Structure 1
Amino acid sequence: MSNVNEEQDIISLFNEQGDEELFEVLFSFHDDDYNKDYIFVYPAGADLDEGVDIFPFIVNSKDTEGTFDEIEDDAEFEMVSEALNRYLDEAE
């Protein structure tokens, strides 16, 4: 479960222990082949130049509360990884 604050691009996610953690939105995109929206986040306050973990999620369009689903399909994960690599290459 998550909560999106669009003004600051900060979201809260709950870990396996049920504790809330804050993340910053790196970017989001839509893929026509899968007809899904995706979002990439990283721990709030982390320095991207320091090699932080970046987490991809599927934006659950069926839920009006802004929840995310994990990517479980290998081909879909590969497509999302390629999108992240393109984004990071363009950002350099």
Structure 2
Amino acid sequence: MADEHLQPGEDEQLITLIDDKGNEELYQVLFTFDSEDYGKSYVLLYPQSAEDDEEVEIQAFSFTPDENGDASQGDLYPIENDDEWAMIEEVLNTFLADDDSHLEDK
């Protein structure tokens, strides 16, 4: 289901999000993936200012990739479907479990 995973530090991408009040915050791309079921690309982001041991809220959006397949340019779209959210959470949980197992191997 997940076609592409960006590992932190490996082609680091940053995206600026602007909230309803016009405040800008810089986010780092955790990873991107494509869903054949929904025919969309997704990006998961976390605040760049987050500390390594800090629990962070991860933002998820669908996006239209640029010519390089990146999410750093172009439009992000909110996830409004509960089934899509469930699929994204499943992919995120798998990513986090894989990331934890890589850390334990070192």
TM-score norm. by structure 2 comes to: 0.72
More strand by share: 1
Q: How many residues align?
A: 84
Q: Mark the runs of 5 or more structure 1 residues left unpaired by the alignment.
A: 1-6
1:90 aligned residue:
98
Instruction: Return closer, same or farther for 1:82/1:48 CA change in 2, 3 Å cut-off.
Output: farther
TM-score norm. by structure 1 comes to: 0.83
The structure that has the greater radius of gyration is 2
2:34 aligned residue:
30
SS across alignment from 1:18: coil
Relative contact order higher in (CA < 8 Å, ≥ 6 apart):
1
Structure 1 outlier segments of 4+, above 2 Å: none
Shift of 1:48: 4.7
- Percent identity, please: 39
1:77 aligned residue:
85
Instruction: Return closer, same or farther for 1:12/1:71 CA change in 2, 3 Å cut-off.
Output: same
- Name the Cα RMSD after superposition: 1.7
Instruction: Return closer, same or farther for 1:48/1:76 CA change in 2, 3 Å cut-off.
Output: farther
Q: Mark the runs of 5 or more structure 2 residues left unpaired by the alignment.
A: 1-10, 66-72, 101-106
Shift of 1:47: 2.6
Look up the equivalent residue of 2:98 and give its one-letter code: E
1:54 aligned residue:
58
